Chain A
């Protein structure tokens, strides 16, 4: 087991290192990435441009530039953006991360609760009209582009029905930190939470339903039934608990993916200044230091979560432990 963990983490380091190299090469091969002309202002003399180049180490060979950037990112932690030198990269990420966390955490609670409810309802009402209806709703949820859903919800809650009693509580787009005003934090995030979670509710409900149906004929479930336990108890205590293994591992991966910047579209649509939007803005400006930092941040979360899921899974289910 220990060897497995070590190997998994060694692989993680290799992956993270390769990602930084790839991002670096990808963007230094892009024309126009060289920020010296931008930083030197609108009427730059060649000397000024050269001076800026030197200041940012852009006149050095590629491997040295890579090393310098990594050093300033991880060791001295004073890497600044190419677009705005007043913007330090590390604080920019640490101030954007709580927004992303707030968004993903709330959505996760919502999608776990809702999808379990939907999955259980579907299984309970299998054979009636409720089951296919729920599953169609779930499928529609999976088939909607999240940014489109967000736009439509914005249209309804911010404009069309904003002045009715239904949605007059919806605050303007944006974010209020929890520490500043917890109630406003909550209000600002309700619609984004719903938007982000719709896809996952649909997805998890379907997975859970399939899983529950798979195991309903397993021996231990039949034994529990034969003992005369009430059906609801069998469903909740025996079947649901067992299905949670798949559920939790899926959840780990998706959570890592979203925290790592996957909630980008939702953040953009709702004007939430999270990590995804930060990356998006950096990409629009080809601001390499910020891109680098956010991609490392994202890759780190995704890799950590997938490694954790592997390890937990291996612990729970020895059959799949790799030799």
Chain B
């Protein structure tokens, strides 16, 4: 079966990698080669652009809040009236009314202002929530929190996972046994359960040991919780790689030439696992954003009134019938972000090492 010339494939990098066998590629660094492959994967590059755009938008949240929406993420405007397309509209209207004379209630649905798009001078572009707050502003601030947690915990998690994997893989023996059991321990704990357990345990008084002070309600709590629970997902496969590299001649040679363990770990072993780590790093951000959303949905992540995509969905679902945009908007934001990261991560993996098998569990 002949391959068509213009193949519609999700992994053109693999095709390119195959082509490269025929082309002279002498003297190029592997990173340059990876970039060459990635450069031609327009789909992955496009995803990267989308992701960067989302990140930029979220980091511009304060600008949007002040210049466009003229409100903060936690400010309520429930009693106000907004001019939508020239028509004054109440932000929140309706609701049951009480007649003091008869002592009876008349049940009526509460009406929340829906998306105004651009018909209200930038106010309530994506509508209002049940407390009269601007959903667009909360979405951007929420995205900021979700991204901070996602990217921050990806850094922390990768750092510790790689460190532990290097130690386990280099020293082997007891160090390896202890670290592997530690991975097993975290692994055997259902991710969400452990995160909720830690989240709610820390939510009361925060953490004040070993000279570290974390206030309850701090973003650090979900960040650390998520990075902790995902350590084995990165640590295990990297340890496996280090273990097999440890047997290679160049490492034996370095040991023979009298290089210390720290030097071998960081200047010989680390560069060889770097490409795997980079791919993991990208994909784990996506996974972290989903985990954060799940945690906040269950009330163990970002604390209200501070928004995050997860807790926006959680508070929105109470109004899902009358104000579905409260649930749909942050959900779509999550899907777009995670999807773009996943596609880019895929492309990156193919570019760095078309044969790598990287798996992230949500």
Contact = CB atoms under 8 A, between A and B. Distances in A.
A associates with B? yes
Interface of A: 11, 14-16, 18-19, 22-23, 26-27, 29-32, 126-129, 131-132, 135-136, 139-140, 142-148, 151-152, 154-155, 159, 199, 207, 210, 214, 250, 254, 257, 260-262, 264-265, 268, 276, 279-280, 283-284, 286, 291, 294-295, 298-299, 302-303, 306
Interface stretch (B52-60, B79-87, B106-114, B191-199): B191-199
Given A26-B197, A155-B321, A147 B8 contact: no
A30 B201 CA distance: 6
A19 B324 contact: no
Give the residue among B10, B286, B290, B324 with the most A Cβ atoms within 10 A. B10
Contact of B294 (A11, A139, A147): A147
Contacts of A264: 190, 192-193, 298
Given A145-B313, A279-B193, A280-B298, A31 B4 contact: no
A226 B297 CA distance: 55
B189 A148 contact: no
Contacts of B190: 257, 260-262, 264, 295, 298-299, 302
Contact of A145 (B7, B181, B293, B355): B293
Interface of B: 3-4, 7-10, 181, 184-185, 187-193, 196-198, 200-201, 204-205, 286, 290, 293-294, 297-300, 310, 313, 317, 320-321, 324, 327-328, 331, 334-335, 338-339, 342-343, 346, 355, 357, 359, 361-362
Nearest to B184: A15
Contact of A15 (B7, B181, B328): B181
A14 B181 contact: yes
Contacts of A140: 335, 339
A260 B188 CA distance: 9
A149 B293 CA distance: 12
B69 to A, nearest CB: 24
B293 A29 contact: no
Contacts of B361: 254, 257
A189 B299 CA distance: 25
Nearest to B205: A31
A249 to B, nearest CB: 11
A18 B354 CA distance: 39
B10 A145 contact: no
Nearest to B204: A31
B226 to A, nearest CB: 14
Given A262-B191, A299-B188, A302-B188, A155 B320 contact: yes
A216 to B, nearest CB: 10
B188 A16 contact: yes
Nearest to B7: A127
Contact of B201 (A29, A280, A302): A29
B339 A139 contact: yes
Contacts of B317: 151
A250 to B, nearest CB: 8
Contacts of A261: 190, 192-193
B184 A303 contact: yes
26 contacts: A11-B181, A22-B185, A23-B197, A26-B198, A27-B197, A27-B201, A30-B201, A126-B9, A127-B3, A129-B8, A140-B339, A145-B294, A145-B310, A145-B313, A148-B327, A151-B331, A154-B320, A199-B362, A254-B361, A257-B190, A257-B361, A299-B189, A299-B190, A302-B187, A303-B184, A306-B188
B193 A19 contact: no
The 4 A-B residue pairs with the shortest CB-CB distance in the complex, in nearest-first order: A143-B338, A143-B339, A148-B331, A299-B188
Given A129-B8, A260-B190, A143 B201 contact: no
A27 B328 CA distance: 36
A268 B339 contact: no
Contacts of B10: 131-132, 135-136
A262 B192 contact: yes
B197 A151 contact: no
A139 B361 CA distance: 14
A260 B361 CA distance: 15
B185 A152 contact: no
Contacts of A136: 10
Given A207-B359, A295-B193, 4 more contacts: A19-B185, A131-B8, A144-B331, A199-B362
